[in-house]
Amino acid sequence: MRYIEPHGHMVSRVTDDYVNMVTAGCAAVCEPAFWAGFDRSSPDGFFDYFKQLTEYEPKRAAKFGLPHYCWLCINPKESEDVRLAEEVIALIPQFLNAPGVLGIGEIGLNKNSRNELKVLEMHIDLAARHDQLILVHTPHLEDKWKGTKLILDALKNDRRVKPERVIVDHVEEHTVKLVLDAGHWGGMTLYPESKCTAARAIDILDTMGTDRLWMNSACDWGVSVPLAVPYAALEMRKRGYTPGQIDQFVFGNPARFMSQTAKFKMPE
Protein backbone atom coordinates (compact mmCIF):
# COMPACT_ATOMS: atom_id res chain seq x y z
CA MET A 1 0.00 0.00 0.00
CA ARG A 2 1.09 3.57 -0.67
CA TYR A 3 -0.33 6.67 1.00
CA ILE A 4 0.37 10.34 1.56
CA GLU A 5 0.34 11.82 5.06
CA PRO A 6 -1.09 15.25 4.22
CA HIS A 7 -0.92 16.67 7.75
CA GLY A 8 1.84 15.63 10.13
CA HIS A 9 3.78 17.84 12.56
CA MET A 10 7.00 15.94 12.09
CA VAL A 11 9.27 18.35 13.98
CA SER A 12 7.54 16.94 17.09
CA ARG A 13 8.16 13.30 16.16
CA VAL A 14 11.13 10.97 16.53
CA THR A 15 13.02 9.20 13.77
CA ASP A 16 11.27 5.91 14.61
CA ASP A 17 8.06 7.53 13.36
CA TYR A 18 9.68 8.24 10.01
CA VAL A 19 10.86 4.62 9.83
CA ASN A 20 7.39 3.27 10.68
CA MET A 21 5.60 5.60 8.25
CA VAL A 22 7.87 4.74 5.34
CA THR A 23 7.62 1.05 6.19
CA ALA A 24 3.83 1.34 6.11
CA GLY A 25 3.95 2.89 2.62
CA CYS A 26 4.09 6.63 3.22
CA ALA A 27 5.19 8.27 -0.04
CA ALA A 28 5.19 11.94 1.05
CA VAL A 29 4.52 13.93 4.21
CA CYS A 30 3.16 17.47 4.43
CA GLU A 31 3.67 19.59 7.53
CA PRO A 32 1.49 22.62 8.32
CA ALA A 33 2.89 25.28 10.65
CA PHE A 34 1.69 24.63 14.19
CA TRP A 35 1.64 25.94 17.74
CA ALA A 36 4.68 24.73 19.70
CA GLY A 37 2.67 23.91 22.83
CA PHE A 38 3.75 27.26 24.27
CA ASP A 39 3.57 30.79 22.87
CA ARG A 40 6.67 31.93 21.01
CA SER A 41 7.95 35.17 22.50
CA SER A 42 8.88 37.04 19.32
CA PRO A 43 8.79 36.95 15.50
CA ASP A 44 12.36 35.63 15.64
CA GLY A 45 11.01 32.38 17.08
CA PHE A 46 8.81 32.02 14.00
CA PHE A 47 11.66 32.87 11.66
CA ASP A 48 13.66 29.99 13.12
CA TYR A 49 10.61 27.68 12.92
CA PHE A 50 10.07 28.55 9.26
CA LYS A 51 13.75 27.76 8.60
CA GLN A 52 13.25 24.44 10.36
CA LEU A 53 10.18 23.63 8.24
CA THR A 54 11.72 24.66 4.92
CA GLU A 55 15.35 23.56 5.39
CA TYR A 56 16.09 21.19 8.24
CA GLU A 57 13.01 18.93 8.40
CA PRO A 58 13.07 18.11 4.65
CA LYS A 59 16.67 16.95 5.10
CA ARG A 60 15.73 14.81 8.11
CA ALA A 61 12.84 13.22 6.18
CA ALA A 62 15.08 12.66 3.16
CA LYS A 63 17.32 10.44 5.27
CA PHE A 64 14.38 8.00 5.27
CA GLY A 65 13.63 8.51 1.59
CA LEU A 66 10.50 10.53 2.36
CA PRO A 67 9.66 13.73 0.44
CA HIS A 68 8.69 16.48 2.94
CA TYR A 69 6.49 19.48 2.16
CA CYS A 70 5.22 22.26 4.41
CA TRP A 71 2.69 25.06 4.87
CA LEU A 72 3.50 28.38 6.56
CA CYS A 73 1.53 30.70 8.89
CA ILE A 74 1.09 31.78 12.47
CA ASN A 75 -1.22 29.15 13.91
CA PRO A 76 -4.69 30.21 15.17
CA LYS A 77 -3.66 29.31 18.73
CA GLU A 78 -1.25 32.27 18.63
CA SER A 79 -3.50 34.63 16.69
CA GLU A 80 -4.97 36.59 19.59
CA ASP A 81 -1.97 38.95 19.48
CA VAL A 82 -2.67 40.78 16.21
CA ARG A 83 0.53 42.86 16.36
CA LEU A 84 2.68 39.72 16.65
CA ALA A 85 0.69 38.09 13.86
CA GLU A 86 1.30 41.06 11.55
CA GLU A 87 5.04 40.80 12.17
CA VAL A 88 5.08 37.05 11.59
CA ILE A 89 2.97 37.26 8.43
CA ALA A 90 5.43 39.86 7.09
CA LEU A 91 8.20 37.22 7.40
CA ILE A 92 6.41 34.59 5.30
CA PRO A 93 6.86 35.86 1.69
CA GLN A 94 10.65 35.37 1.84
CA PHE A 95 10.03 31.64 2.43
CA LEU A 96 7.36 31.08 -0.22
CA ASN A 97 9.85 30.25 -2.97
CA ALA A 98 11.41 27.42 -0.98
CA PRO A 99 10.91 24.20 -2.97
CA GLY A 100 8.74 22.37 -0.42
CA VAL A 101 6.30 25.14 0.50
CA LEU A 102 2.80 24.17 -0.67
CA GLY A 103 0.89 27.18 0.61
CA ILE A 104 -0.48 29.02 3.65
CA GLY A 105 -1.62 26.91 6.60
CA GLU A 106 -2.81 25.74 8.93
CA ILE A 107 -4.68 29.00 9.35
CA GLY A 108 -8.17 29.35 10.80
CA LEU A 109 -9.74 29.87 14.21
CA ASN A 110 -9.26 28.38 17.66
CA LYS A 111 -11.67 30.09 20.09
CA ASN A 112 -13.57 32.09 17.45
CA SER A 113 -12.49 35.53 18.68
CA ARG A 114 -12.50 38.79 16.74
CA ASN A 115 -8.70 38.97 16.73
CA GLU A 116 -8.38 35.39 15.44
CA LEU A 117 -10.81 36.32 12.67
CA LYS A 118 -8.72 39.40 11.77
CA VAL A 119 -5.58 37.29 11.53
CA LEU A 120 -7.41 34.68 9.45
CA GLU A 121 -8.41 37.42 6.98
CA MET A 122 -4.79 38.63 6.87
CA HIS A 123 -3.66 35.10 6.01
CA ILE A 124 -6.32 34.72 3.31
CA ASP A 125 -5.12 38.00 1.83
CA LEU A 126 -1.51 36.78 1.92
CA ALA A 127 -2.46 33.57 0.12
CA ALA A 128 -4.48 35.44 -2.49
CA ARG A 129 -1.70 37.97 -3.19
CA HIS A 130 0.83 35.19 -3.69
CA ASP A 131 -1.52 32.69 -5.41
CA GLN A 132 -1.01 30.06 -2.71
CA LEU A 133 -3.05 27.01 -1.74
CA ILE A 134 -4.74 27.29 1.67
CA LEU A 135 -4.96 24.71 4.46
CA VAL A 136 -7.47 25.63 7.19
CA HIS A 137 -7.61 24.43 10.79
CA THR A 138 -11.09 24.32 12.33
CA PRO A 139 -11.54 24.67 16.09
CA HIS A 140 -11.83 21.83 18.56
CA LEU A 141 -14.90 20.30 20.16
CA GLU A 142 -17.64 22.76 21.14
CA ASP A 143 -16.11 25.54 19.04
CA LYS A 144 -15.90 23.61 15.76
CA TRP A 145 -19.37 24.18 14.27
CA LYS A 146 -19.34 27.93 14.92
CA GLY A 147 -15.72 28.28 13.82
CA THR A 148 -16.37 26.39 10.61
CA LYS A 149 -19.29 28.70 9.78
CA LEU A 150 -17.17 31.81 10.47
CA ILE A 151 -14.23 30.45 8.44
CA LEU A 152 -16.41 29.59 5.45
CA ASP A 153 -17.87 33.12 5.53
CA ALA A 154 -14.38 34.65 5.64
CA LEU A 155 -13.25 32.56 2.65
CA LYS A 156 -16.40 33.41 0.72
CA ASN A 157 -15.99 37.12 1.45
CA ASP A 158 -12.62 37.23 -0.36
CA ARG A 159 -13.57 36.88 -4.00
CA ARG A 160 -9.98 36.06 -5.00
CA VAL A 161 -10.24 32.68 -3.22
CA LYS A 162 -10.93 29.70 -5.46
CA PRO A 163 -12.84 27.20 -3.26
CA GLU A 164 -11.21 24.13 -4.83
CA ARG A 165 -7.78 25.47 -3.79
CA VAL A 166 -8.74 25.39 -0.09
CA ILE A 167 -8.74 22.34 2.19
CA VAL A 168 -10.70 22.78 5.42
CA ASP A 169 -9.30 20.32 7.91
CA HIS A 170 -10.61 18.48 10.97
CA VAL A 171 -14.15 18.09 9.61
CA GLU A 172 -16.56 15.85 11.50
CA GLU A 173 -20.14 14.69 10.97
CA HIS A 174 -21.63 18.12 11.78
CA THR A 175 -19.29 20.17 9.55
CA VAL A 176 -18.32 18.04 6.56
CA LYS A 177 -21.36 18.93 4.47
CA LEU A 178 -20.92 22.65 5.14
CA VAL A 179 -17.36 22.46 3.80
CA LEU A 180 -18.08 20.34 0.73
CA ASP A 181 -21.16 22.37 -0.19
CA ALA A 182 -18.96 25.48 -0.21
CA GLY A 183 -16.79 23.85 -2.88
CA HIS A 184 -13.76 23.24 -0.67
CA TRP A 185 -11.92 20.03 0.11
CA GLY A 186 -12.39 18.51 3.55
CA GLY A 187 -9.78 16.84 5.75
CA MET A 188 -10.69 14.21 8.35
CA THR A 189 -8.23 14.04 11.23
CA LEU A 190 -7.86 10.68 12.92
CA TYR A 191 -7.39 11.09 16.67
CA PRO A 192 -7.98 8.59 19.46
CA GLU A 193 -10.45 10.90 21.27
CA SER A 194 -10.92 14.48 20.20
CA LYS A 195 -11.54 14.18 16.47
CA CYS A 196 -12.57 11.30 14.12
CA THR A 197 -11.85 7.67 14.87
CA ALA A 198 -11.09 5.50 11.84
CA ALA A 199 -14.57 3.96 12.03
CA ARG A 200 -16.28 7.38 12.03
CA ALA A 201 -14.09 8.64 9.19
CA ILE A 202 -15.12 5.69 7.03
CA ASP A 203 -18.75 6.27 8.05
CA ILE A 204 -18.35 9.77 6.57
CA LEU A 205 -16.95 8.27 3.36
CA ASP A 206 -19.85 5.81 3.23
CA THR A 207 -22.37 8.64 3.44
CA MET A 208 -20.60 11.52 1.66
CA GLY A 209 -18.50 9.69 -0.95
CA THR A 210 -14.74 9.95 -1.34
CA ASP A 211 -14.44 12.95 -3.66
CA ARG A 212 -12.72 16.08 -2.25
CA LEU A 213 -11.91 14.40 1.08
CA TRP A 214 -8.67 13.18 2.60
CA MET A 215 -7.56 11.64 5.90
CA ASN A 216 -4.61 12.64 8.04
CA SER A 217 -3.07 11.76 11.38
CA ALA A 218 -2.15 15.36 12.36
CA CYS A 219 0.49 13.68 14.51
CA ASP A 220 2.17 16.21 16.80
CA TRP A 221 3.53 16.48 20.35
CA GLY A 222 0.16 15.47 21.85
CA VAL A 223 -1.88 12.26 21.89
CA SER A 224 -1.85 11.22 18.23
CA VAL A 225 -0.91 8.26 16.06
CA PRO A 226 1.51 8.74 13.14
CA LEU A 227 0.20 5.57 11.45
CA ALA A 228 -3.45 6.56 11.74
CA VAL A 229 -3.92 6.79 7.95
CA PRO A 230 -2.77 3.23 7.16
CA TYR A 231 -4.80 1.98 10.14
CA ALA A 232 -7.87 3.68 8.67
CA ALA A 233 -7.06 2.14 5.29
CA LEU A 234 -7.35 -1.23 7.04
CA GLU A 235 -10.80 -0.17 8.27
CA MET A 236 -11.69 0.69 4.65
CA ARG A 237 -10.62 -2.82 3.64
CA LYS A 238 -12.86 -4.33 6.34
CA ARG A 239 -15.80 -2.28 5.03
CA GLY A 240 -15.38 -3.67 1.52
CA TYR A 241 -13.49 -0.92 -0.28
CA THR A 242 -11.26 -2.39 -2.99
CA PRO A 243 -7.48 -1.91 -3.01
CA GLY A 244 -7.94 0.41 -6.00
CA GLN A 245 -10.48 2.57 -4.16
CA ILE A 246 -8.26 2.70 -1.09
CA ASP A 247 -5.25 3.74 -3.18
CA GLN A 248 -7.32 6.40 -4.90
CA PHE A 249 -8.40 7.78 -1.54
CA VAL A 250 -5.26 7.64 0.62
CA PHE A 251 -2.81 8.44 -2.17
CA GLY A 252 -4.72 9.81 -5.15
CA ASN A 253 -6.89 12.37 -3.35
CA PRO A 254 -4.14 14.24 -1.47
CA ALA A 255 -1.96 14.09 -4.58
CA ARG A 256 -4.81 15.58 -6.64
CA PHE A 257 -5.33 18.48 -4.25
CA MET A 258 -1.65 19.27 -3.79
CA SER A 259 -0.87 18.95 -7.50
CA GLN A 260 -2.67 22.28 -7.84
CA THR A 261 0.75 23.74 -7.04
CA ALA A 262 3.71 22.88 -9.25
CA LYS A 263 5.80 22.56 -6.09
CA PHE A 264 4.25 19.17 -5.38
CA LYS A 265 6.03 16.38 -7.25
CA MET A 266 4.07 13.17 -7.70
CA PRO A 267 5.86 10.48 -5.63
CA GLU A 268 7.25 7.62 -7.67
Partner 1 sequence: MEARAKLIDVAAFLDRVDRASGPGDFRWTALRGALAELASEKSGRAERVLLALSDPTLEPLAAAPGKGAAGAWPGKSA
Taking every pair of Cα atoms in the chain, the longest distance, rounded to a whole number of angstroms, is 51
Q: Exactly one of 15, 42, 97, 113 binds partner 1 (CB under 8 A); which one?
A: 113
Q: Is residue 112 within the footprint of partner 1 (CB under 8 A)? A: yes
Q: Is residue 232 within the footprint of partner 1 (CB under 8 A)? A: no
Q: Which is closer to partner 1, CB of 109 or CB of 133?
A: 109
Q: Which is closer to partner 1, CB of 57 or CB of 235?
A: 235
* Cα 61 to Cα 203: distance, rounded to the nearest angstrom: 32
* DSSP string covering 184-251: -EEEEEB-SSSSB-HHHHHHHHHHH-STTEEEE----SSS--TTHHHHHHHHHHHTT--HHHHHIIII
Q: Is residue 110 within the footprint of partner 1 (CB under 8 A)? A: yes
Q: Is residue 17 within the footprint of partner 1 (CB under 8 A)? A: no
Q: Is residue 16 within the footprint of partner 1 (CB under 8 A)? A: no
Q: Which is closer to partner 1, CB of 146 or CB of 265?
A: 146
Q: Is residue 111 within the footprint of partner 1 (CB under 8 A)? A: yes
Q: Which is closer to partner 1, CB of 95 or CB of 145?
A: 145
* Cα 166 to Cα 15: distance, rounded to the nearest angstrom: 30
Q: Exactly one of 145, 208, 237, 261 binds partner 1 (CB under 8 A); which one?
A: 145
Q: Exactly one of 41, 63, 142, 181 binds partner 1 (CB under 8 A); which one?
A: 142
Sign of CA dihedral 27, 221, 120, 213: positive
**CA 77 vs CA 115, 124, 215: distances in Å:** 11, 17, 22
Which chain residues interact with partner 1 by CB under 8 A?
35, 77, 80, 110-117, 139-146, 149-150, 172-174, 200, 203
